[in-house]
Amino acid sequence: MVRAAYFDANGIKKGAWSEEEDKRLIAYVERYGHPNWRQLPRLAGLLRCGKSCRLRWMNYLRPNLKRGNYTQKEEQLIMDLHKEHGNKWSLIAENLPGRTDNEIKNYWHSHLKKFQNRNVNNTTYDDDDDDLNKSKSKSSSESTMEHERPKCELSNDDSHHIILESSVSNVSTESSYSSYTEEDNKRNNDDGDNDTVDNNDNSWFCFSSGREEESNRKDDRVASWDKATLFDEFGSSFWTEPFILDNTFNQDYSYILYYREDPFFI
């Protein structure tokens, strides 16, 4: 249903997210917040651009998201707000807690758009409204598909799970991670990222600024990533200890960020 994962010319992964990537992103954001999406992928050990991480988090992984199961009330609200504001999806989403602008946009185009010229103020789904009923029955069947947010545990050791899950309880919203105040976030230029990939983002896990060695390393990098079982190799310290930041530059004029025994970061 979603485009297959692939690597672009810069070695940045695109397309569908793997469960391991989700776990990594969730674990990182829940632990450190997202003061800077652009820097996040490299710090989290993801091969994505920051924008992709942000999108994945905002539209799929952040807590308290609803998926499917649109109520009549929600549908009516979407139609009313759309009638009033047009394609202001983010504005509409503000009025539907747990819904993302992207999901609402998709839902509008797939389910509600065709009814926009009808008397939307009387959306009572009459029995003789075949289209509407079809849509309704379909959407309700879809709604049985519960959104399963990947668990954060990275091994069979439940201690990881406990730690991370407990941290979740301290996070009230996606942007208010307890470690960061609003002021901190502002100071750090908030979140999000530009899709544009610069030289730093081109680097693999961005531990090097890449440059001429980029293409040569790509295969090794992919191979490393494919060793998804790496998650099982992490000691418990990986998710419980802070990052060790080493700003010293190596021979490639690259800087090294690594996290204890994390093979990604060495």
Smallest gap from residue 261 Cβ to DNA (A): 28
Output the smallest distance, CB 264 to DNA, in A: 20
Residue ranges of alpha helices (H) inside 110-229 are: 130-142, 158-168, 182-187, 199-202, 214-226
Our CB check for DNA shows the closer of 74 and 101 to be 101
Tally Cβ neighbours within 10 Å of residue 183: 8
Choice between 172 and 236, CB closer to DNA? 172
What is the DSSP secondary structure assignment for residue 244, as one 8-state letter? E
Q: Which is nearer to DNA, 6 or 249 (CB)?
A: 6
Cβ proximity to DNA: between 55 and 154 the closer is: 55
Q: 62-79 burial string, b = 16+ CB within 10 Å, else e?
A: beebbbeebeeebbbbbb
- Return d(Cα 139, Cα 137) in angstroms, integer: 6
Q: Whole-number minimum distance, CB 224 to DNA, in Å?
A: 19
Which residues are at the interface with DNA (CB under 7 A)?
1-4, 8, 14-17, 35-39, 50-52, 54-56, 59-60, 67-68, 87-91, 101-103, 105-107, 109-111, 135, 138-139, 142, 175, 186-196, 198
3 state SS of 47: coil
Whole-number minimum distance, CB 4 to DNA, in Å?
5
Q: Which is nearer to DNA, 204 or 238 (CB)?
A: 204
Number of other CB atoms surrounding residue 247 within 10 Å: 7
Shortest Cβ 149–DNA spacing (Å) = 12
Q: How far is the CB of 226 from DNA (least distance, A)?
A: 17
Tokens describing residue 132:
């509407």
CB 202 within 8 A of CB 38: no
Q: What φ, ψ does residue 192 adopt, rounded to 5°?
A: 95, 175
Residue closer to DNA by CB (options 155, 188) is 188
Q: State which residue, 14 or 260, has the beta carbon closest to DNA.
A: 14
Query: Cβ of residue 190: shortest distance to DNA, in angstroms?
Result: 4
Instruction: Determine the 3-state secondary structure of 116 from DSSP.
Output: coil
Q: How far is the CB of 36 from DNA (least distance, A)?
A: 4
Q: Which token pair is 1?
A: 């249903």
d(CA 223, CA 166): 33
Cα atoms found within 13 Å of the Cα of residue 41, Cβ hemisphere only: 28
The CA distance from 34 to 39, in Å, is 9
User: Encoding tokens for residue 118?
Assistant: 């009808």
Of residues 69 and 155, the one with the C-beta less far from DNA? 69
